[in-house]
A and B are shown apart, each in its own frame.
Chain A
Amino acid sequence: MHEHDVLVVGAGGAGLRAAIAAHEEGADVAMVTKLHPVRSHTGAAEGGINAALHPEDSWELHAYDTMKGSDYLGDAPAVETFAQDAPDEVIQLEHWGMPFSREEDGTVSQRPFGGLSHPRTTYAGAETGHHLLHTMYEQVVKRGITVYEEQQVLDLAVTDHDDVEDRECHGVVAYDIASGEIQGYRATNGVILATGGPGQVFDHTTNAVANTGDGYAMAYRAGVPLEDMEFVQFHPTTLPSTGVLISEGVRGEGGILYNDEEERLMFEYGYANNDGELASRDVVSRAELTEVNEGRGIEDEYVHLDMRHLGEERILDRLENILHLAEDFEGVDGLDEPMPVKPGQHYQMGGVECDENGHTCIDGLYAAGETACVSLHGANRLGGNALPELLVFGARAGKHAAGGDMKEAEISTGPSAKSEAGDLSEEVEIGAVDAGNRSVAADGAAIDAGTVVDAEVQRQEERVDRLLEDEGVNHAQVREDIQQTMTANVNVFRREDNLVEALDDIREARERYQHVAASDPSRTYNTDLMHTMETRNIIDIAEAIAVGALAREEFRGAHWREQYQERRDEEWLKHTMLAWNDGNPELYYKPVLLEAEKEYEPKERSY
């Protein structure tokens, strides 16, 4: 049994920032991570970090853009905290030696990004995330923070009180990938979930293979509601064959989208007459797919993104990484020809419900980064807002978990924040998600803080033994079926019959999952077993997304519904919550907070 004040699960951007912040508060902090920290998917982020650094810019403008971009589903206290803290976080990174791109006078460069009223995206070439990840890991090494690497966290050790708000998190249980051992980790102060996104729920995604949303699923099964899961961002420029991301920086620098008639589609078909290629990501993704669906796509699949006119010098200075990606993964020379692009799953706006200090409704349990839903991005995230999010809220979660002095949160969480019960017009048997719940944290484990970690260790040992010893279904086919049905039915365009079909497929996958087993019997580096356990998480998250999408009968941000072609503020200005109560998920809503220091009046989003 390992014991620390604060445990951070996941060592990408949010986890590293949280660990540094907790360490600065004087806590004994350790990170438990499925990968080595520098393998985290934050390293694949390309575009940049938004922060109002310029004297003519302001946090108020950044907050306003973020609220507008969110289609008024962001909570104002989260959005304002974010915009206020972001500049300090960027300067902090700069002081840690992050190799930002520079202006002639040596200051940090900023460039325009979609949906921003001022060029406030700081960047390091088109590999900003790589530099951010490595710079922060350097700081973790400098501080001597303990990192338990290649440890797959299987579940949280949470007490079993009936009321979720009485539950406490005392640690986690992890599977040592190299040795196959199950290990308990006790946290005396708090556990911070920073496990990244769940892109593997879809089969065309920019996300890494490791991004199976483990944190979402573990928090959900322990009783924390998942918030606004129907809002999935599809990035408009991913390479068709692999899903590799082509940064929004290309459009920020002036890249142009063409259809197969060689028309500048964003203008010629009127998708965004004001902002063209730099309209919000949801707008551009729909525009591209509409072109393809109406027969103006190239090879009936994609459109072209052209950056040749920017000139070799500028491309090499600011977008060099894009040239390598297009060359290596699509065989296209971006200096000489346009790049093929299509929308791909990129980011989950929703996530584990928490307040602006990262705290969830379970005592001692925090979430940060993409795993969390504060909520900052609402119905649509602006490009360049993910990296400052993981800095700002990673730091706050770390500080709070370490017992730092913080202002009380304005965002309320948990069942007591509930405003109304949800209602699904379509019958989906919401209670049916219970199958295969033998690893639910809160099912009679313990109330006694002293034994809760041990009890969970024992439960996970039994689970792993069973998966290794039994004969059963291979996870790979179950996972693939989920990914395919999600891409076919819960993609950019959503229709009721498709959503119901996806839910049926997910239920069927859940049935089959009850009979899975790893066919590799080894205790040494058993990736078959790892992926089998991840698939469980993928099923739970896919279901939360599909249920949320079916329930929300309106068109807002990234969520498009065929039957409902407008934003319906009177009915739907509220967060979709899905809570797992002893295997009986409950759909409910909570109000959006549109007022903090400033008040944000919902307006029509126009580009």
Chain B
Amino acid sequence: MSTQIEQEQTEEQTEAETAEPAEQSPQERRLSEKKARAEAREREEQAREEVRDADDTVQIKVFRYDPEVEGKSEPRFDDFSVPFFKGMTVLDALIYARDHYDSSLTFRHSCRQAVCGSDALFVNGQQRLGCKTQMADLEGPVRIEPLPHQDVVKDLVVDMEHFYEQMEAVEPYFQPDELPEGEREEQRQSPENREKVKMSTRCIWCGACMSSCNIAAGDNEYLGPAAINKAYRFAMDEREGEIQKEDRLEIIEQEHGVWRCQTQFSCTEVCPKDIPLTEHIQELKREAVKSNLKFW
């Protein structure tokens, strides 16, 4: 099947190329190439759809638990069959199941564009944001559970309190030595330094990293990847004062800080914002060593 599609594409493309008039502006050429690509993609998509299951529904298995309601206080899985559409995400499937089958199905969600961080879930054995995970990319039936290693409040909702406490433990706020003098004067930052901290500022506090971390699972006091990354964001900012930087390094150097990390990379793997969390933790370990050496 796929060979056939490829052949058709090649023929079409050749035709299109030969049919082109000799004189074409760069813009026209670019646009006709774009059109050819779009057509090829459309054919691919059609083919894929045909190959896909004969019936266009997807199955989800959803973790259910409500401490308060009889019949739900024992954890179990509910199966839902949801009509599939192109582009459907895990969140879409959950919303469909809730609005059409069981309005008590409970999960957090808000922006549905991967920026509010509220719908981090354990999907087919991995921490993912429901809103940016395509159903088509997952093997069915899709198993949807709350984030592991956190207390379940109800169904897919976990208690985030501990995560927030750890985030706030690193004093997550900017503390420059002094503000620049002069009216409306900025604390200039080099584009290079901004680039250095850029990835660390993208954290949406979804908690996926913490949930994926074996160390955090075993040591409740471990600051965890997100909080250490937050410390990195400030420690590496050239505008932060020296004393504050030392103070923050002390926080992350404590017993349950950076040294607990065993560089298993699971946090980096699940981060929906592609933040190199493990690398940031390693870099802070090096900074901590350097700053200690200074005093010797």
Contact = CB atoms under 8 A, between A and B. Distances in A.
B189 A102 contact: yes
Interface stretch (B55-63, B105-113, B259-267, B285-293): B105-113
Contacts of B239: 97
Interface in A64-104: 87-88, 91, 94-97, 99-104
Contacts of B35: 262
Interface in B218-271: 234, 237, 239
Given A41-B110, A138-B172, A108 B103 contact: no
Nearest to A142: B173
B34 interface: yes
A277 to B, nearest CB: 15
Contacts of B118: 35-36, 39
Interface stretch (B2-10, B76-84, B190-198): B190-198
Nearest to B160: A36
B248 to A, nearest CB: 13
A88 B113 contact: no
B113 A87 contact: no
B201 interface: yes
Contacts of A94: 186-187
B115 A97 contact: no
A522 interface: yes
Contacts of A241: 86-87
A183 interface: no
Contacts of B141: none
Q: Which of B34, B103, B155, B197 has the largest number of chain A CB atoms within 10 A?
A: B103
Interface stretch (A126-134, A391-399, A561-569): A126-134
B93 interface: no
Contact of B103 (A99, A325, A331, A474): A474
B174 A104 contact: no
Interface stretch (B15-23, B66-74, B209-217, B276-284): B66-74
A480 B96 CA distance: 12
A102 B103 contact: no
A520 interface: yes
A421 interface: no
B186 A91 contact: yes
B162 interface: no
Nearest to B164: A36
B66 A524 contact: yes
B122 interface: no
B173 A97 contact: yes
Interface residues of B, number: 62
A197 B190 CA distance: 36
Q: Which of A106, A107, A306, A325 has the largest number of chain B CB atoms within 10 A?
A: A106
A329 B132 contact: yes
Interface string B135-177: 0000000000000000001110100100010001001111010
B116 A106 contact: no
A230 B84 CA distance: 36
A235 to B, nearest CB: 13
A596 interface: no
A38 B184 CA distance: 28
B47 interface: no
A476 interface: yes
B116 A208 contact: yes
Q: Which of B30, B35, B184, B186 has the largest number of chain A CB atoms within 10 A?
A: B186
Interface string B4-48: 000000000000000000000000101100110110000000000
Contacts of B154: 522, 524-525
Nearest to A105: B188
Contacts of A330: 87
B117 interface: yes
Nearest to B273: A324
Given A141-B172, A141-B173, A524-B153, A43 B68 contact: no
A328 interface: yes
Contacts of A262: 28, 31, 34-35
A337 interface: yes
Q: Which of B37, B116, B164, B187 has the largest number of chain A CB atoms within 10 A?
A: B116
A338 interface: yes
B2 to A, nearest CB: 18
Contact of A525 (B87, B110, B157, B179): B157
Interface string A273-292: 00000000000000000000
B104 A127 contact: no
B114 interface: yes
A257 to B, nearest CB: 13
B204 A130 contact: yes
Contact of B202 (A127, A210, A527): A127
B107 to A, nearest CB: 8
A135 B172 CA distance: 9
Given A127-B202, A130-B204, A97 B174 contact: yes
A24 to B, nearest CB: 15
Contacts of A306: 34
A53 interface: yes
A306 B205 CA distance: 32
B187 A95 contact: yes
B181 interface: no
Contacts of B174: 96-97, 135, 138
A525 B173 contact: no
Given A99-B197, A100-B194, A127-B202, 15 more contacts: A35-B118, A36-B118, A36-B205, A44-B111, A91-B186, A97-B234, A102-B191, A103-B191, A208-B116, A325-B113, A329-B132, A476-B99, A522-B154, A525-B155, A525-B157
Interface of A: 35-36, 38-41, 43-44, 53, 87-88, 91, 94-97, 99-108, 125, 127, 130-131, 134-135, 138-139, 141-142, 178, 208-210, 241-242, 244-245, 258, 262, 306, 308-309, 324-325, 328-331, 336-338, 474, 476, 480, 518-528
10 contacts: A38-B204, A43-B115, A87-B184, A88-B184, A95-B179, A99-B194, A102-B189, A208-B110, A337-B34, A525-B157
Interface of B: 28, 30-31, 34-35, 37-38, 66-69, 72, 86-87, 98-99, 103-104, 106-107, 109-118, 132, 153-155, 157, 160, 164, 168, 171-174, 176, 179, 184-191, 194, 197-198, 201-202, 204-205, 234, 237, 239
The 7 closest A-B pairs by CB, nearest first: A97-B174, A106-B188, A520-B104, A138-B173, A142-B173, A208-B111, A208-B110
